[in-house]
Amino acid sequence: MRVIESKVERLEGGRFRVTTILEEDPSLAKREAAISEIGEGPTGNAVPDKIVRALIKNKTRSVAMAEIQREVGGNPRTVNRQAWTLSTNAPDLQIRLRGWVVSPERGHYALSPAARKRLDMK
C-alpha cells in the first residue's frame, strides 16, 4: 500500500477527522503473496532437508525427536536445534523449507497441513 493523500480536519469538541487515500502497490502484493506460500521443500542433503524427508516418511503422524535423530543421524543437538528452527523460525532461517514443519507438542514434529496438501497434489 502506498499513501496517496492524507488530510486532517479539525472538528468540534477537540476531535479530528483523518482521511487517507491509499493505493495498492502491485509489486508489493506479489511479494506478500510469495511470502505466505510454502517453501519448495527438501532439495539438498543438509540436516533440515533430512528432517523434512524423515517427516515425509511418516506423514500421517507426529514424530518424536528421538525418532528423527535416529533417521537423520549426526549430532543430536544439531538435529534438535534444526527441527526447532524449522517449526518456529522457518520464514527467516530456512526459506526453502518454509512452512513444512510444525511442532504439535514439545519434542514432537510433523508436516504442516500445507506440506501434506502439497505432497498429496504430486
How do the pLDDT tens digits run along the chain, 122 residues long? Answer: 677 888 999 999 999 998 888 887 666 555 444 444 788 888 888 888 899 999 999 888 899 999 999 999 888 888 888 887 777 766 555 677 788 888 888 889 999 888 888 888 66
- The total number of residues written for the chain in this structure: 122
d(CA 40, CA 57): 17
- In this structure, whether the domain defined by 47-121 belongs to CATH 1.10.10.10 is answered with yes
Could you identify the residue written with the cell 503422524? 61
Every domain of the chain with CATH number 1.10.10.10 lies at: 47-121
Report yes or no on whether pTM surpasses 0.75: no
Task: Please report the pLDDT score of residue 92 as a whole number.
Answer: 53
Strands ordered across the beta sheet of 108-111: 63-64, 108-111, 101-105
Instruction: Say if residues 86 and 43 touch (Cβ distance below 8 Å).
Output: no
